[in-house]
Amino acid sequence: MAGLLYLPRIYVYHTKAKIGSELDSTLQVMELKLLRFIMNPAIISTFIFGLINAHIYGFVALDTWFHVKMFAVLILVIFHGLLARWRKDFANGKNVHSEKFYRIVNEIPAICMIVAVIMVIVKPFD
């Protein structure tokens, strides 16, 4: 989760760096390492432990709160993929998004996290 919150912030700084500069190179390394060594293993382990948890405690797929939570998780998975694609755009010098864009999308994981936690704790549609 930390990577989903931090990587867009790095992109905000990266939009200010000139292509080919030392800062550009440093940020590219940071982005790649964050994705490859923290975010990708985290998303894989999240899926594995989620399936184990579902197997142990049983699926509650008929409950509406579960569907809302899973929709928030789906948005986070899609967001993860978009972050990886945007990293490649920066690496190829083809970023088309502004600093403001990355500041706005930086709020997506926080909103999804809040929705998912509220659904699990409160279960408002039971």
Sequence letter at residue 56: I
Residue closest to 32 by CA, chosen among 94, 83, 93, 103: 83
State yes or no: 69 annotated in a binding site.
yes
- Residue 117 corresponds to which tokens in the numbers above? 């936690």
Contact between 88 and 36 under an 8 Å Cβ cutoff? The reply is no
Token look-up 């992109």 returns 11
Distance from the Cα of residue 123 to its chain's centroid: 24
Conformational region of residue 49, where left means phi above 0, alpha means psi within -120 to 50, and beta covers everything else: alpha
Q: Which residues are annotated as a binding site?
A: 69
Which residue positions form the known binding site for heme?
69
